[in-house]
Amino acid sequence: MPIKLRIVTAFLDLMPLWPVMVAVLGGLLSIRVSRGRWIIHSLTFLGMLMVPFAYVRIESYVDPTSIDYPGPGEGLMIFPYLFMLLLAAASYAVFCFVSVQSRSERMR
């Protein structure tokens, strides 16, 4: 197996952690901008929801047979993803609330 393919498959195995990575990147981006934070927050939540679709799309390029002929455990990856999605979305929502509150206190 070529090295690039091994890296991609290793990255695909980390799919349950993708919402956390998206939330961290969204948090870092929203700290850096002064205006338009609501756009970053909206795109972050949308990105967290779009992870399974991106996973299926990338998996169809890497290993098309797993999409055409799924095995008995192919759909089980969604359960850890949903758990991590709930944790990441709740944590990011708290971050959004705190950042808006601290910004409104600074504006007073």
* Mean of the per-residue pLDDT values of the chain: 84
Domain boundaries, the chain: 3-107
pLDDT-based confidence at 3, cuts 50/70/90?
confident
Pick 86 or 66 by higher pLDDT.
Answer: 86
- Can you tell me the mean pLDDT for 40-45? 93
Give the separation between CA 19 and CA 25, rounded to whole angstroms.
10
Give the separation between CA 99 and CA 44, rounded to whole angstroms.
15
pLDDT (0 to 100) of residue 103: 66
pTM: 0.79
How many residues are recorded in the chain?
A: 108
The three-state secondary structure class of 48 is: helix
Burial classification of residue 77, based on how many CB atoms lie within 10 Å of its CB (0-12 exposed, 13-18 middle, 19 or more buried): middle
pLDDT at 9 over 80: no
- Can you tell me the mean pLDDT for 98-105? 75
